[in-house]
Amino acid sequence: TGETLFEQNADSRLPMASTTKIMTALVALGEGDLDRVYTVKPEYAAVEGSSMYLQAGERLSLRDTLYGLMLASGNDAAECIAAHCGGNGGSAQFVRWMNEKAKALGMKHTSFANPSGLDEAGHGSCALDMARLAVYAMQNPTFARIVSTRTASVGTRTMTNHNKLLNQIEGCIGLKTGYTMAAGRTLVSCVERNGQRLVAVTPQDGNDWADHAALYDYGFSTYPAKLGASLGQTIQRVQVENGMSATVPLVAADSFAWPLAEGESLELDVELAGSLRAPIRAGRRAGEAVFSVNGKEVGRVALLYGADVAPRMESALSILKQGLPG
């Protein structure tokens, strides 16, 4: 939902290490053809730091390289992706796209200087910005599938995801680890339980595995999600003017849930798009369900008519009669 459940120094700008690669993957997914095959250039086969061990002259797809980027945290994969997807502008153009994406997502304390996360002047972010990025990224099904993968084979290599939380925490579905001397241990993760997703971010945290487990125990127990609407659920029946049926059901076009603290409740108000007069066609937009907590709006779901309602017969005959000559 984008709601912050707990924060501490969330706006402090720090190095982000390989959690940078969340943005690298997102930009690549938007700019590149996943099945396009390219050849690894020698300069990208010997990049410092963590690696998927690309070989000069090796041919592989962007899809395979993304697995090396996110599971093995390959700096070589990051440089190859940036050069491949950046077109004539190469890595420099790709990094510009990363910064443009950050700005579009409201990441006010973030700037990227490279696609890998290696320490460099002007390269940094904060916990709140990285949380925003993670929430957005997990909405991309291809990205979510990659970061939840525990092992993957590319060519003759088998890579294991560096994110140990996939095996340690119930419901963990991602995201990305990071480490450099300047950044220390940096971790962005995502956990889903009972249909509710939470994201946790800890820059410069030497006890990150345990801290994330504690954060999720706190988040899920203190702010359980309350389901306000489920897809296809009848939210309300409303009166129909001039209809063969006196009422028509309004059904939710999507699901909606919101985390609630103890003592809070999810309030519902229905806003209709217009007067309800027959004839009515099922599936057409009727209005919106508006959800609030303590008087503050937190979300909306479109409402559709759940049934056809024909006009009353006498009205139909009257309309026909008015249309006859004489």
Question: By CB neighbour count within 10 A (0-12 exposed, 13-18 middle, 19+ buried), where does 88 fall?
Answer: exposed
Which helix (H) or strand (E) element contains residue 130? helix 127-137
pLDDT, mean of residues 276-286: 93
Give 64-99 pLDDT, tens digit per residue.
999 999 999 999 999 999 999 998 899 999 999 999
Q: Which of 44 and 96 is assigned the larger pLDDT?
A: 96
- pLDDT at position 224: 93
Q: Where does the pLDDT of residue 324 fall: very low under 50, low under 70, confident under 90, or very high at 90 and above?
A: low
- pLDDT at position 200: 98
Q: Which of 21, 101, 125, 176 is catalytic?
A: 21
Q: Are 162 and 136 in contact (CB under 8 A)?
A: no
| Average pLDDT over the chain, rounded to an integer | 93
Q: Where does the pLDDT of residue 325 fall: very low under 50, low under 70, confident under 90, or very high at 90 and above?
A: low
- pLDDT at position 275: 78
Q: Which of 41, 61, 73, 221 is catalytic?
A: 73
- pLDDT at position 321: 58
Give 153-181 pLDDT, tens digit per residue.
998 899 999 999 999 999 999 999 999 99
pTM: 0.84
Phi and psi at 120, nearest 5°, equal -160, 145
Q: Where does the pLDDT of residue 312 fall: very low under 50, low under 70, confident under 90, or very high at 90 and above?
A: confident
- pLDDT at position 124: 97
pLDDT at 317 over 60: no
- H helix count then E strand count, the chain: 9, 14
Cα dist from 277 to 14, 122, 239, 286, 313, whole Å: 59, 60, 9, 11, 14
> What is the DSSP secondary-structure string of 230-247?
-TT-EEEEEE-BTBSSSE
In angstroms, the CA 23 to CA 117 distance is 10
In angstroms, the CA 77 to CA 69 distance is 5
Contacts of the segment 29-33: beta carbons below 8 A, 24+ positions apart: 29/66, 29/140, 29/142, 29/143, 31/85, 31/86, 31/94, 31/97, 32/62, 32/81, 32/84, 32/85, 33/62
Cα dist from 51 to 18, 26, 72, 80, whole Å: 11, 19, 6, 12
pLDDT at 121 over 80: yes
Q: Which of 18, 50, 116, 148 is catalytic?
A: 18
Residue type present at position 229? A
Our answer to whether residue 18 is catalytic in this structure is yes
pLDDT, mean of residues 219-243: 94
Residue type present at position 154? V
Q: Are 150 and 166 in contact (CB under 8 A)?
A: yes
Residue type present at position 204? Q
- pLDDT at position 32: 80
Nearest Cα to Cα of residue 182 among 67, 13, 3: 13
Q: Where does the pLDDT of residue 2 fall: very low under 50, low under 70, confident under 90, or very high at 90 and above?
A: confident
- pLDDT at position 70: 98
Our answer to whether residue 61 is catalytic in this structure is no
Strands (E), 253-312: 256-259, 267-272, 285-293, 296-305
Cα dist from 132 to 54, 91, 122, 287, whole Å: 31, 24, 20, 29
Token couple for 174: 């991602």
pLDDT at 316 over 60: no
- pLDDT at position 314: 62
Token couple for 142: 């291809």
pLDDT, mean of residues 282-291: 96
Our answer to whether residue 230 is catalytic in this structure is no
